[in-house]
Amino acid sequence: MIDYNAAAKILDELMLELIEKGMAIPSHVADDLKSSRSLANIGLKNPDDANIATKTMMYLENAEMNLLSLAETGVGVEYANEWQKRINGAYKEEAAKSSSRPAPKFVTGVPKGKHWVRIQMTELAEIKELSTLLGEYALSAIEQEDGYMLIHGEKENVSAFLKAIRQIIGKNGESICKM
């Protein structure tokens, strides 16, 4: 999911800078930007609603197009291109953040008081002894939809299990766990 607030913040900065340069910003542009921020916040509460995301992007693109057009005609092409790079960078930065977000602090399916860890299934797919190791350390595992396996049990057992997995996979320095 894309967080549109970063791009809206950049567009806010551009709008303020254009106002400081003495340019008049049409009210519909400010309204589009405000609507995009409001819908983006609603979208954070309802991430599965594609209609909200579509409308958010529509308002954001309208504001972006109008502000960049004003910047180009009022200040210059290079100025507008620099702002376009910043806006594109905000989208890329947010996309990178969303793909590397930390695991949630609250996980369903884990009994109270148990320690848990999430491990990418791609790393575990090659380990044939996985079920044996889980039984050996008295751990439970739940496959999750996002490609991770949630493993839970006593803290010492989870730590010992992770150590055994690391030895099997190899010491390449990559973290396979999300805590």
Question: Is 58 exposed, middle or buried, given 0-12, 13-18 or 19+ CB atoms closer than 10 A?
Answer: middle
Each residue's pLDDT, cut to its tens digit, for the chain (179 residues) gives 566 788 888 988 989 999 999 988 888 988 988 888 888 888 777 777 778 888 888 888 888 888 988 898 889 889 888 998 888 887 776 545 544 444 445 556 666 777 788 777 665 555 566 778 888 889 888 887 777 778 888 888 888 888 887 777 664 444 444 44
Same domain, 125 and 70: no
48 and 95, same domain (yes or no):
yes
Residue 168's domain is classified under what CATH number? 3.30.70
One domain for residues 14 and 79? yes
Q: Are residues 10 and 56 in the same domain?
A: yes
What is the enclosing helix (H) or strand (E) of 84? helix 77-99
The residue range of the domain holding 136 is: 115-178
- In angstroms, the CA 141 to CA 25 distance is 56
Last residue of a domain, one of 58, 73, 99: 99
Q: What confidence score (pLDDT) does residue 110 get?
A: 67
Q: Do 127 and 52 share a structural domain?
A: no
Considering the domain boundaries, does residue 169 fall inside one?
yes
pLDDT of residue 103: 45
Residues 92 and 119 in one domain: no
Provide the total of helices (H) and of strands (E) in the chain, helices listed first.
Answer: 7, 4
107 lies in a domain?
Answer: no
For residue 97, the model assigns a pLDDT of 53
79, part of any domain: yes
**Model confidence, pTM:** 0.51
Considering the domain architecture, whether residues 77 and 121 belong to the same structural domain is answered as no
Report the domain count for the chain.
Answer: 2
CB-neighbour burial class of residue 151 (10 A; exposed 0-12, middle 13-18, buried 19+) = buried
Of 99, 131, 148, which residue sits at a domain end?
Answer: 99
Cross-strand pairs, 141: 151
